[in-house]
Amino acid sequence: MTVKRLTQISDISGAARTPAYDPAAHGCGIVHLGLGAFHRAHQAAMTDAALASEGGDWRITGVSLRSRSVVDALEAQNCLYTLLERDAQGVRGRVIGAIGKAIAADPRATLDALCEPATRIVTLTVTEKGYGINRETGGPDLSTPVIAHDLAHLDAPSGVLGLLAVALSARRNAGLSPFTVLCCDNLPDNGQFLKNGVTGFARHMDVGLADWIVANVAFPSSMVDRITPAASDTTRADAHALTGCSDLCAIETEPFCQWVIEDNFPQGRPAWEAGGALFVDDVAKFEHMKLRVLNGAHSMLAYTGFLSGKQYVREVMADANLAKLVRRHLRAAAKTLEPLSMIDYDIYARELEARFSNPAIAHETYQIAMDGTQKLPQRIFAPALDAIASGQDIRPFAFATAMWMRYCLGVDDTGAPYEIRDPYEAEIKAALDAQPRDGFQISKALQMRLDLFPTKLKENTDWQKLVAEILDETIEKGV
């Protein structure tokens, strides 16, 4: 028997919750760049709750900058998809109706969507490396191929900075209000980060445009949190059981969901509070907490776990020794934070242990290990510097760094090779090409080749010694 594909809410026959509003009655007001699983589990789910609560023309035009397949699959389902939430108690399903339209890697169609008078917000989840912003200068990284391409082809930009700057220019020329730009990636001060990148790009086009963006476009910061593994056959089978339909776009996530947003939306916004979003004046402390504690521990456990043969985060947490290391890291990272009146960091750390241990979530250590050069500065090095400044024990951060360096060798304890998967993979390989043998040489080679390490860490002899010792020990005895 062929199973009907999910295309309409009236097709749904299982236990899944359906949108408590008529999706077709709401126009699109948001363009989202980066239509991956995380967006669909997080901002789209929050927007779904906002539409159900307050309505408004706030559905999303989702743009996939690279892959066509997700767009084809969504289009075949009228952009409806099932979101599964899993924990030890079981799995619950909810069909999301917040996405109104999907566009794949098409500069013209993307610019048209960005220039629609109805577009009031642009949200982004393109990963740390997806912006093409130079972390040192804050401006566009001219050595990134997409930036160079877009500066030479302003009629058909395909990267984030080019698309935003060109669309803002067109809106300005047409006398339309600008949209608000809301970065939802795990980067510190992500609103200002993106603002610098876009205005830097615009400055190459027209200085007047750059000044206009600085004066008129809001770039609120936000902290996002929801652990979302890649979808699998099990995801699709469970979505089928809960909807009675075949759903090739189903995704799964944990019950926890957090979004802390700087409340700066001159053109209005959806009532995301309805989905649990918290609006604040300053996101910085929440960002530090999330990046250092959750993401920092994630990176540490990903390298350590992957190298010691643990495929999933939950297996790391089930190993008493590794779980102890995770607890040590969570607590050390929390100690580097300034107090936040709303949050008890001990409780936050305990909740994270439980979230990482969620037996129903199959989150691959190898997935988190990806793009280490883009993640370590804010996750590990920033808290390490604060730990040094306050005389706190730096070993947990040195350990995480050594584990990443060990991972950069590209072979696990059994000698099995793997792809490093990092935008600086070529530089990492070149640094290690001379086959440095001991921890000190490996660490030195990586620090010299990659523009990644803060000077204060490079100059700190205790730090250097610890990193090298930990590396030596793990190379000698196995991770």
Which positions touch ligand CS2 (CB under 6 A)? 186, 225-227, 295, 298, 367-368, 375
Task: Quote the least distance from Cβ 227 to ligand CS2, whole Å.
Answer: 5
Q: Which is nearer to ligand CS2, 186 or 401 (CB)?
A: 186
Q: Which is nearer to ligand CS2, 123 or 295 (CB)?
A: 295
| Cβ atoms of 353 and 323 closer than 8 Å | yes
Task: Quote the least distance from Cβ 313 to ligand CS2, whole Å.
Answer: 9
In DSSP notation, 167-225 reads HHHHHHHTTPPPPEEEE-SS-TTHHHHHHHHHHHHHHHH-HHHHHHHHHH-----EEEE
Strands of the sheet containing 28-33, edge to edge, are 99-104, 59-64, 28-33, 121-124, 180-183
Task: Quote the least distance from Cβ 452 to ligand CS2, whole Å.
Answer: 16
Structure tokens at 230: 């890649």
Based on the number of CB atoms within 10 Å of its own CB, is 174 exposed (0-12), middle (13-18) or buried (19 or more)? exposed
Residues in the chain: 479
Backbone angles phi and psi of 433, in degrees to 5: -65, -35
Q: Which is nearer to ligand CS2, 65 or 227 (CB)?
A: 227
Write the DSSP symbol of residue 29.
E
- The letter for the amino acid at 61 is T
Q: Which is nearer to ligand CS2, 41 or 445 (CB)?
A: 41
Q: Which is nearer to ligand CS2, 314 or 465 (CB)?
A: 314
Q: Which is nearer to ligand CS2, 198 or 227 (CB)?
A: 227
| Cβ atoms of 338 and 285 closer than 8 Å | yes
Task: Quote the least distance from Cβ 409 to ligand CS2, whole Å.
Answer: 20
Q: Which is nearer to ligand CS2, 295 or 447 (CB)?
A: 295
Task: Quote the least distance from Cβ 295 to ligand CS2, whole Å.
Answer: 5
Q: Which is nearer to ligand CS2, 367 or 441 (CB)?
A: 367
Write the DSSP symbol of residue 72.
H
| Cβ atoms of 251 and 40 closer than 8 Å | yes
Please state whether 126 falls in left (phi above 0), alpha (psi between -120 and 50) or beta. alpha
Which residues are bridge partners to 122 per DSSP?
Answer: 31, 181
Q: Which is nearer to ligand CS2, 421 or 456 (CB)?
A: 421
Q: Which is nearer to ligand CS2, 234 or 367 (CB)?
A: 367
Task: Quote the least distance from Cβ 298 to ligand CS2, whole Å.
Answer: 4
Task: Quote the least distance from Cβ 403 to ligand CS2, whole Å.
Answer: 14
Task: Quote the least distance from Cβ 331 to ligand CS2, whole Å.
Answer: 18
Task: Quote the least distance from Cβ 291 to ligand CS2, whole Å.
Answer: 8
Q: At what angle do helices 382-389 and 395-408 cross, to 10 degrees?
A: 150
SS (H, E, C) 348-399: HHHHHHHHHHCCCCCCEHHHHHCCHHHHHHHHHHHHHHHHHHCCCCCHHHHH
Task: Quote the least distance from Cβ 186 to ligand CS2, whole Å.
Answer: 5
Task: Quote the least distance from Cβ 408 to ligand CS2, whole Å.
Answer: 16
Structure tokens at 258: 């957090």
Q: Which is nearer to ligand CS2, 166 or 382 (CB)?
A: 382
Q: Which is nearer to ligand CS2, 55 or 255 (CB)?
A: 255
Closest C-alpha among 25, 86, 83, 87 to residue 243: 83
Nearest-CB residue for ligand CS2: 298
Task: Quote the least distance from Cβ 60 to ligand CS2, whole Å.
Answer: 19
* Alpha-carbon torsion angle 63, 67, 71, 74, nearest 10: -110
In DSSP notation, 35-60 reads -SHHHHHTHHHHHHHHHHHH--S-EE
